Structure 1
Amino acid sequence: MEKRVPTTTVSDKAHHSLDRGARAVIARLSAGVSPHAPMQAWADWFSYVGQSPGRQLGLWEHAQSNLAKLVAYAADTSQDPEPPFEAQRYDHRFDDAGWQMPPYSFLKQGFFAWQDFWEFATERTRGLSPRAADQTRFMARQALDFMSPSNFPWLNPEIIHATVQSGGANLVTGAQHFVHDYWKAVAQTHDAPPEGYRIGEDLACTSGHIVFRNELFELIRYAPATGTVQAEPVLFVPAWIMKYYVLDLSPDNSLVKYLVDQGFTVFMISWCNPQPEQADLSLEDYRELGVMTAINQINGMIPERKIHTVGYCLGGTILAISAATMARERDDRLASITLIAAQVDFADAGELLLFLDESQVTLLEDMMWDQGCLDKPQMARAFSSIRAGDLIYSRSVRRYFLGEPDEPTDLGVWVADTTRMPARMHSEYLRGLFLENRLSAGRFAVANRVIALKDISAPMFVIATEADHIAPWRSVYKTQLFTDCDLTFVLTSGGHNTGIVNPPSGTGRYFRISHRPAGAFYNGPDVWLAQQAARQGSWWPAWKTWLETKSSGQVPALPFDPPVLDPAGPLAAPGTYVHQT
């Protein structure tokens, strides 16, 4: 019997396009979330509980226990009864003194009881898929955050008190804020930075010039601040998911300025904000037209010197790919590699990608096929959902019910300055790295040849942050599992951004640091944590000292003539791409 060879007809292509268009509509209505994974997770959870009488009994007993605690608390006639449940350490929704008085204290404790029950109900348990448990826990938390009594004006004593005191002026002001934010979301615009937070004047204001530009990035070279500098320059590769200047915020918070002041020659990649017509930019473009082009340009300006490379978040991942490719090609131009809150293994990639599966990637691909990119509001919603209680609901209560304006901060202005993601690159990133985890599995190919992180011989400095929900520190720690080079690992306090914006002038910060010689045996993260004592202060000075030990010494800082990339003359930092909206 003759084997049938599948053929693609014009009709098939039309049907395929119709399906993609339908999924793009679904993606817009669902904020880019595929319904398949949540439905499957709840189906797994209910199926497991339904056939586990012991688990059912445990849930019933836990609910009864929580109810008994609430009844005992309500019946306690003492002046200051001991509350049976406490808020989680990052939850500040109930800090107002009004929540300590009945009946609001009972509402608060009832909410905490529900929260405690669902944390118990969605624990990882023998017989239940760990992924399904984590997914149902995340969804239960999202639902509880939405139903929190702090979100409802008639249940929140802080809102009630403010309304009585102001005669309702807080609600009028809050309504104005809501209308302003609504139309801003519809138009997909953002407010201009407030006075004192202007880009290029107050933020991203370290002195320098644009020394190279292509369609993907501008290369900034910062002016020296000392008479002598380390011979080897430093190249920052930031994430393209946000603007680069999280690394160059206000002068007191700028990692770039800190390095320049310490006698380093610093370069920065400032990525473009992709437009829909740049939908076909690939992950390889970000490596070849981005990282490698920047390295080549720096070599042309400062010849015969190796380069200290620094990658932040997604920029760290593409830097690791670039370094492994260079190692494969016997290219030894890297003096060192610093990875900041960057992952090379995505088996434990955190809650941001908890629901990433084939259906989710397909939905995002079809939405980007329709739009040409993953747009700014869609990116912002994804990050905010991780800490919805704080980043969505608490802000909404303050802004729309209490009528309070958002207090500007340099980090807050940067967070609001979101960017787009080109369709092809984002699809390749999600599939090749997050979904299939090819890089650490030895299946990631560059130019049709597989690369290996173990080929990297340049020394590495890897920084993770304790409270990181985007690149969990145990995931970042696994860089040690997939490399053999000399490696220094730092775990610092703070989150994905706050742990990195960590100047020595700050207070209350601490970090742990260790050194693994090349070829040493691997220790797991929990064993490592138990062996490391916390050091007070910022990790910046420790990193600066490490960079100095990997450098060849100081040389005179020579002035340079920036090239003329614009008819008006040399272009000063921060350049033009950082202003793209």
Structure 2
Amino acid sequence: MTSEDGANATKRDETDGGALERMNANLARMDELTKRLVGALSQRQSSDQGLQGPGPELYAKAMAAYWAELANNPGKLIERQVGYWGQALRHAMEAQGALAQGKPAPAPDDLPKDRRFANPLWDEHPYYNFLKQQYQISASAIRDTVSELGGLDAADKRRVEFFSQQIVDLFAPTNFLATNPEAMQRAVETEGESLVKGLENLVRDIEANHGDWLVTLSDPDAFQVGGNIAATEGSVVFRNRMFELIQYAPTTKQVHARPIVLFPPWINKFYVLDLKPQNSLIKWIVDQGYTLFVVSWVNPDASYADVGLEDYVTDGYLTAIDVAREITKQDQVNAIGYCIAGTTLAATLALMARRGDTSVASATFFTTLADFSDPGEMGVFLDDDFVDGIERESKQKGYLDKFFMGRTFSYLRSNDLVYGPAIKSYMLGEAPPAFDLLYWNGDGTNLPGPMVTEYLRKLCLANELATTGFSLLGEDGLTLGDVTVPLAAIACETDHIAQWKGAWHTVDKMGSDDKTFILSESGHIAGIVNPPSKKKYGHYINDEGLEAETPEDWLEKAVYHEGSWWPRWEEWVRPRSGKKVAARKPGGPNHPVIEAAPGQYVKSKDRAA
């Protein structure tokens, strides 16, 4: 052996020894983390079974429908089953034959593309390609069987399809370490360090949710509310038990006399409309010369166990409107309601009309459903079993923990908001990205039990505001027909929470003679947070108003316009905002500035505020 050979051998021994040392260190760290994980899981509090999935009645209905289908049309189901067996077996034989002949090439793959299988190994490696194709064949067979299942009404059919798809998504081979080539490759390349980091991320998430699991979507340390997000200049000018009212500082010398009062949903925090200056709707409205007030709702805890929807109307909507009028010395305001806050704004306007209260000059609705005859994708959760679970859970704790609503909305897009992020975080050991929108998405709020139960039972399930009439603060029979103020509604084309056709029907049933409906491209958030500077999503307008018989007819005659809907809405609200007056500083004699925006309520992060 030459001296060079000896040196190389020594270097290899040192390299191998270093790798072994790192591997042992990683294994030791995993042992520590496993103990922490067990401890974190032991902190999990019991929650109502109604919040974990559909009730047994749905499974019973699905099984009864399946057996009825088998009895009435056995040939059809047997044919489908035999077809599935044949396709799966044929593919297995092709894959086995390729391996037996020493050909590592995968069997032919003509199945639909799926971005979960974007890694080239899913196509190039025969074993992983086999797993992928077998999963896709099985998934397709399940979906086809469920879609052709008869004997169920439309709501039950939609729920069976949704929850069966949840099971299909759960068992994708991408979700398991041993069958995910990218995760296995990363573990080998990093000598197990990726798995250590992944376990650290998992333990962090379990600890953060007190024993429950919900994947962290954004770097929790990348943003500071009031620092690099929610930073538009303004002041808290009023505070009560339900909300803080923020008045934003003017950026123009003159402003329109009539102020705008914006009511965001209290399921999340208001700053989705003020993430950063470039995409802040709040800043943009102020920059157009408007005095803007924004409601920042409290994050309730057990002390709010008695709070119902009427408290949000009395101590929220009506109070905020009165304070804004008093500060600006105006008789009327223009109001905006977003999502659930839009639904409640509609009920409030119906109440005000019944009382002869003309404090609101016009109303704008962002992605608002108040006619729940077709709730869209959210309908899978709008059933008695789910609402019963919410009611029992909130009665026990005094409130509904934000964890449950966060998880519910995440599973509407499970591959994008649950499994995909979990793979990156836990299997690949990646840190969550610094993404402001996802940070906001994880910064939810608790809900008072009586409020959420009343909202779901009366406004969603019974659809009272759109049909028989809703009772509010002593006024019975309130309907959408009582909403008579001039109104504009912005719906979003791919909205999975407030589907746009339902938003169209909501506006169609309102009693106003002055209606404008705008359909934005994109979804529930991106369609609203769509600044003109980005020139990203366009919108549709129909100059005939809502004269069409159906939303489909409306869209067929609508004209597409490039760019954001924001300027078009501003053109609509401008003539309803009065003459120009000198810009106003926040606050007034009876409502002095309490503190700088964004205030205290929005910063509450505890599961129980």
1:464-502: CA deviations, max 9, x gaps? 222222111221121133124222222222222222211
**For residues 150 and 46 of structure 1, what CA distance do their matches in structure 2 show?**
30
Residue type at the aligned position of 2:117 = F
**So what's the TM-score if we normalise by structure 2?**
0.84
CA contact (8 A) 1:481 1:522 kept: no
* Secondary structure at 1:488 match in 2: strand
1:50-99: CA deviations, max 9, x gaps? 233164256337636854884798589998987422246xxx32222222
1:347-387: CA deviations, max 9, x gaps? 22233341433333222211111110110211211111212
* Secondary structure at 1:277 match in 2: helix
CA contact (8 A) 2:219 2:435 kept: no
**In the alignment, is residue 481 of structure 1 matched against residue 508 of structure 2?**
yes
Q: 2:485 aligns with which of 458, 479, 496?
A: 458
**For residues 495 and 329 of structure 1, what CA distance do their matches in structure 2 show?**
36
Q: 1:39 aligns with which of 36, 59, 63?
A: 59
**In the alignment, is residue 114 of structure 1 matched against residue 138 of structure 2?**
yes
Q: 1:183 aligns with which of 207, 216, 224?
A: 207
Residue 264 of structure 1: CA displacement? 1.1
Residue type at the aligned position of 1:119 = R
Equivalence for 1:17: none
**For residues 148 and 53 of structure 2, what CA distance do their matches in structure 1 show?**
24
Equivalence for 1:232: 258
Equivalence for 1:394: 420
**For residues 385 and 586 of structure 2, what CA distance do their matches in structure 1 show?**
52
Residue 208 of structure 1: CA displacement? 0.7
Pair 232,39 (structure 1): closer, same or farther in 2 beyond 3 Å: same
CA contact (8 A) 2:272 2:440 kept: yes
Q: 1:436 aligns with which of 422, 446, 462?
A: 462
Equivalence for 1:414: 440
CA contact (8 A) 2:234 2:248 kept: yes
**For residues 287 and 309 of structure 2, what CA distance do their matches in structure 1 show?**
34
**In the alignment, is residue 222 of structure 1 matched against residue 243 of structure 2?**
no
Residue type at the aligned position of 1:134 = R
Equivalence for 1:367: 393
* Secondary structure at 2:596 match in 1: coil
1:220-271: CA deviations, max 9, x gaps? 1001111111222111111111111111111112110011111111100100
Q: 2:157 aligns with which of 124, 130, 133?
A: 133
Residue type at the aligned position of 1:182 = I
**For residues 301 and 217 of structure 1, what CA distance do their matches in structure 2 show?**
17
Pair 80,317 (structure 1): closer, same or farther in 2 beyond 3 Å: same
**In the alignment, is residue 267 of structure 1 matched against residue 288 of structure 2?**
no
**For residues 187 and 71 of structure 1, what CA distance do their matches in structure 2 show?**
41
Residue 149 of structure 1: CA displacement? 0.5
Bigger shift: residues 288-297 or 361-370: 361-370
Residue 338 of structure 1: CA displacement? 1.0
**In the alignment, is residue 470 of structure 1 matched against residue 497 of structure 2?**
yes
**For residues 448 and 233 of structure 1, what CA distance do their matches in structure 2 show?**
28
**In the alignment, is residue 56 of structure 1 matched against residue 71 of structure 2?**
no
Bigger shift: residues 226-235 or 99-108: 99-108
Pair 550,63 (structure 1): closer, same or farther in 2 beyond 3 Å: farther
CA contact (8 A) 2:248 2:586 kept: no
CA contact (8 A) 1:340 1:464 kept: yes
1:112-146: CA deviations, max 9, x gaps? 22232222222266643222221121111111111
**For residues 275 and 55 of structure 1, what CA distance do their matches in structure 2 show?**
54
Equivalence for 2:339: 313
* Secondary structure at 1:449 match in 2: strand
Q: 1:379 aligns with which of 405, 408, 425?
A: 405
* Secondary structure at 2:406 match in 1: helix
**For residues 70 and 198 of structure 2, what CA distance do their matches in structure 1 show?**
46
Q: Which runs of 5+ in 2 are unaligned?
A: 1-44
Bigger shift: residues 360-369 or 263-272: 360-369
Residue 545 of structure 1: CA displacement? 1.7
**For residues 148 and 237 of structure 2, what CA distance do their matches in structure 1 show?**
53
How many residues are matched? Answer: 550
Equivalence for 2:523: 495
Equivalence for 1:99: 122
Equivalence for 1:535: 561
Pair 35,570 (structure 1): closer, same or farther in 2 beyond 3 Å: closer
**For residues 431 and 83 of structure 1, what CA distance do their matches in structure 2 show?**
48
**For residues 439 and 72 of structure 1, what CA distance do their matches in structure 2 show?**
59
1:6-60: CA deviations, max 9, x gaps? xxxxxxxxxxxxxxxxxxx984456444523432342343234223316425633
Pair 545,177 (structure 1): closer, same or farther in 2 beyond 3 Å: same
Bigger shift: residues 489-498 or 508-517: 508-517
**For residues 508 and 69 of structure 1, what CA distance do their matches in structure 2 show?**
46
Residue 578 of structure 1: CA displacement? 0.7
**For residues 236 and 38 of structure 1, what CA distance do their matches in structure 2 show?**
40
**For residues 213 and 424 of structure 2, what CA distance do their matches in structure 1 show?**
22
Pair 558,374 (structure 1): closer, same or farther in 2 beyond 3 Å: closer
Equivalence for 2:182: 158
Residue type at the aligned position of 2:578 = S
**For residues 373 and 52 of structure 1, what CA distance do their matches in structure 2 show?**
47
Pair 136,59 (structure 1): closer, same or farther in 2 beyond 3 Å: farther
Residue 562 of structure 1: CA displacement? 5.3
1:263-288: CA deviations, max 9, x gaps? 11110010000111111101011111
Q: 1:328 aligns with which of 344, 354, 357?
A: 354
Q: 1:149 aligns with which of 168, 173, 191?
A: 173
**In the alignment, is residue 556 of structure 1 matched against residue 577 of structure 2?**
no
Residue type at the aligned position of 2:243 = F
Residue type at the aligned position of 1:306 = Q
More helix by share: 2
**For residues 148 and 516 of structure 2, what CA distance do their matches in structure 1 show?**
33
* Secondary structure at 1:93 match in 2: helix
CA contact (8 A) 1:308 1:336 kept: yes
Bigger shift: residues 236-245 or 535-544: 535-544
**For residues 406 and 328 of structure 2, what CA distance do their matches in structure 1 show?**
39
1:521-577: CA deviations, max 9, x gaps? 4421222223334322222222122211333332221334456989xx731111111
1:159-186: CA deviations, max 9, x gaps? 1221222122111111111111111111
CA contact (8 A) 2:351 2:475 kept: no
Residue type at the aligned position of 2:193 = A
**For residues 237 and 171 of structure 1, what CA distance do their matches in structure 2 show?**
44
Residue 407 of structure 1: CA displacement? 0.2
Q: Which runs of 5+ in 1 are unaligned?
A: 1-24
Residue type at the aligned position of 2:479 = A
Residue type at the aligned position of 1:51 = A
Q: 1:208 aligns with which of 204, 210, 234?
A: 234
Q: 1:199 aligns with which of 203, 225, 234?
A: 225
**In the alignment, is residue 514 of structure 1 matched against residue 542 of structure 2?**
yes
**For residues 350 and 400 of structure 1, what CA distance do their matches in structure 2 show?**
32
Residue 311 of structure 1: CA displacement? 0.6
Pair 26,151 (structure 1): closer, same or farther in 2 beyond 3 Å: same
- The structure number with the bigger radius of gyration is 2
Residue type at the aligned position of 2:255 = V
Pair 109,499 (structure 1): closer, same or farther in 2 beyond 3 Å: farther
Pair 237,152 (structure 1): closer, same or farther in 2 beyond 3 Å: same
Q: What is the aligned-residue identity percentage? A: 34
Residue type at the aligned position of 1:215 = R
